[in-house]
Amino acid sequence: MKAILLFALVASTVLLSGCVVSVGGGSDSHYGGDWEDREYNNRQHIANLNKGESYEGVLRKMGVADFNELYEKQDGTYRVLYYRTQKTMSDGITTKDECTPLVFKQGELAGWGDSAYRMIH
């Protein structure tokens, strides 16, 4: 009888053990499990941008921005695209402080980063 109980105990331990499968990419599930790759790719693309590139050309390279803004000023129309480049919180929500702004004036890339953004404000 003890042998049967011991066998049942060992068998149940083996049969009930399993593995854990993570679905949805953890805390940043909005981007799946690839948010680090996405941020790295965005930084790579931004590093290869050139001032004067067209809005459409940059959009083709970069894809859909996380945020975008449009400003009408006396000296022209400005469009700002924000791409996530660094995580600040593991809350799964992208905020502008986790993004690099790309600033376009009259449809051409005028600059990127916080200093370029401050120039239009």
pTM, to two decimals: 0.72
How far is the C-alpha of 41 from the C-alpha of 84, rounded, in Å? 10
Which pLDDT tens digit goes with each residue over 26-76?
444 444 558 889 999 999 999 999 999 999 999 999 999 999 999 999 999
Whole-angstrom distance, CA of residue 27 vs CA of residue 29: 6
pLDDT at 28: 46
For residues 88 and 98, the answer to whether their CB atoms sit within 8 Å is: yes
Binned at pLDDT 50, 70 and 90, residue 121 comes out as confident
Annotated domain spans of the chain: 52-121
The CATH number that domain 52-121 falls under is: 3.30.1450.10
Strand 108-112 and strand 99-105: pairing?
antiparallel
pLDDT digits (tens, 9 = 90+) for 83-111: 999 988 888 889 999 999 999 999 999 99
